[in-house]
Amino acid sequence: MLPERQGSVFVVTGIPGVGKTTVLDAALEAAKASGFGEVVLMNYGTVMFEEAKSRGLVENRDQMRSLPTGIQREIQRSAAEKIASEAQDKIVIVDTHMLIRTPEGFLPGLPQWVVEALRPNIIVLVEAFPEEIAGRRSKDVARDRDVESVEDIRLHQELCRAAAMACAEVTGSTVKIIMNHDGKAEEAAAETVKLFKAMKR
Ligand code: ATP
Ligand code: MG
């Protein structure tokens, strides 16, 4: 059990292509410009990859999905512990997915053992209208994005809400929905900065 921490963990989730990274980059820039102080941004998938690589298990990110599930879970847990120890005395923002769509169904990105290690203060769901997300994905040629129908996107977002509340029940954290509508990323970023400030109090 870690000692009482001075820092905080701010978990930011949202389905792929909703604009988490876009909103967080703008929010961090705005926070920095207003003299907010140090905020560490950590991408959960990157922390997991670094851990797997340092154990000599993989050489690239795509090999992670082929690891035995038991090992994947172990890496998922140690990534959570690494992030939590970073948050002992800092504000850590974690860019992650609440659910991962797999051929076998939705896999929780924050199962109980992860959320208990992270102990987030706030869980953010970045959302947009399903039609907006479908449009962004189709325009985003820089990424190899899964194809989901508008109805599938709607269901994916609804299940993320349910999963977020389940996490909050375990940890007592709050859940905040931030809307990132088309052309409104700056507004979503401003709302995110307000949360950073509230968390510092
Ligand atoms: P992933 O989970 O795959 O990392 P993400 O949630 O981080 O995805 P981004 O990469 O930030 O999503 O954004 C996906 C695409 O949507 C990008 O092309 C981005 O420019 C665009 N986008 C993000 N927010 C908005 C917005 N408010 N209006 C219009 N386009 C947006
Ligand atoms: Mg991203």
pLDDT tens for each residue of 156-199 = 999 999 999 999 999 999 999 999 999 999 999 999 999 988 87
Whether the model pTM is above 0.85 = yes
- d(C-alpha 148, C-alpha 29), whole Å: 31
Ligand 1 atom at minimal distance to the Cα of residue 136: 16
Residue 34 has pLDDT above 80, yes or no: yes
Say what the pLDDT of residue 127 is.
98
Q: Which ligand is nearest to the CA of 138?
A: 1
Taking CA atoms only, the protein residue closest to ligand 1 atom 4 is: 16
Chain mean pLDDT for the chain: 91
Taking CA atoms only, the protein residue closest to ligand 1 atom 28 is: 182
Is residue 154 in contact with ligand 1, taking CB distance under 6 Å? no
Band of the pLDDT at 3, cuts 50, 70, 90?
A: low
Band of the pLDDT at 56, cuts 50, 70, 90?
A: very high
- Residue % of the chain over a pLDDT of 70: 98
Strand partners, 40: 92
Is residue 20 in contact with ligand 1, taking CB distance under 6 Å? yes
Say what the pLDDT of residue 201 is.
64
Angle CA 4–7–13, to nearest 5: 115
Say what the pLDDT of residue 20 is.
96
Residue 37 has pLDDT above 60, yes or no: yes
**Pairing outcome for strands 99-102 and 91-95:** unpaired
Among candidates 17, 14, 24, which has minimal Cα distance to 192? 24
Write the single-letter amino acid at 43: N
- Residue 97, both tokens: 């997915």
Ligand 1 atom at minimal distance to the Cα of residue 22: 11
- d(C-alpha 14, C-alpha 32), whole Å: 23
CB 85 within 8 A of CB 2: yes
Taking CA atoms only, the protein residue closest to ligand 1 atom 29 is: 182
**Most informative mutation of 12, 15, 22, 101 for ligand 1 (most atoms within 8 A of CB):** 22
Residue 69 has pLDDT above 90, yes or no: no
- d(C-alpha 47, C-alpha 3), whole Å: 22
Residue 144 has pLDDT above 90, yes or no: no
Residue pLDDT, tens place only, 113-133: 999 999 999 999 999 999 999
Lowest mean pLDDT among 11-20, 69-78, 111-120, 182-191: 69-78
